[in-house]
Each structure stands twice: as structure tokens, then as C-alpha cells.
Amino acid sequence: MAEHEHMSLRDRVAEARKAEHASPQGFVAVTTNTVPGMEIVASHGVAMGSLPVVRSDVASMGLGPPTTTQALEKLTDQAKAVGGNGIIGLRIAVGTEFVVVYGTVVTARPCTD
């Protein structure tokens, strides 16, 4: 198994957030309503990504990386399509049938203070 398959969902999301936040020019996704060091200059509405849960994921007492990662990729693609470079208020809802990720699409830039 790949190393990320042993990580919890929380750890995988934290790793993704660290990687994205490390590059302010890249796409930023955070669970908070602000991004430290960045100014939100536009809001583009809510975006959502969802995928059915793969049964083997449920049986293993967690979500497999493909389900979670693909749902986050759908969300990111949707945000970029409307001109955003970030998601604030990121939420992940995990049910027995679906994984749903959603948040507010924003355009953010580094603070100039």
C-alpha cells in the first residue's frame, strides 16, 4: 500500500493544506474563513464536489485516498473554472454512501501591508 493509505483523513487534509498554503501563488484551501497572510479580494459563491464511497473504503473503517482526493479535485476544478484561486470554509462530509466536500470559492492575494 502507498504511504498515504495509512494516513487518517484528517492527516491527509492537513498535509494537503500545508502543501497548498506553502505556495501563496498556488491554490489555497482552508477550513477557516480567512487565510493568514492573504487578502480575499473576491468571492465567487459555493462550490461542491461529491463522489460515492467505495465499499472497500467503508469496510476498512476509513475513506480510501481515491474517493477523498477525487472529491477534492472536483471541488478545486470547479473553483478554478469560476476564476477562484482558493476555497475558504472547506468542509468534508462523509457518509456511508457519499463523500461531499464544499466551501466558498474566493480569489485571494498576498497582503500588501
> For residue 8, what pLDDT is reported?
62
Average pLDDT (31-36) is: 91
> For residue 28, what pLDDT is reported?
86
The beta strand positions in 3-72, using DSSP E, are 28-29, 38-52
> For residue 42, what pLDDT is reported?
95
Contact 110, 37 (CB under 8 A): yes
Tell me the pLDDT of the chain averaged across its residues. Answer: 77
Tell me the residue type at 10. R
Contact 68, 7 (CB under 8 A): no
- Put simply, whether the predicted model's pTM sits higher than 0.75 gets the answer no
Summarised one tens digit per residue, pLDDT across range 36-72 is 889 999 999 999 988 887 665 444 545 455 677 888 8
Question: Where along the chain do its domains lie?
Answer: 3-110
Confidence of residue 85 (pLDDT cuts 50, 70, 90): very high
CATH number, domain 3-110: 3.30.110.70
Nearest-angstrom CA–CA distance, 34 and 28: 11
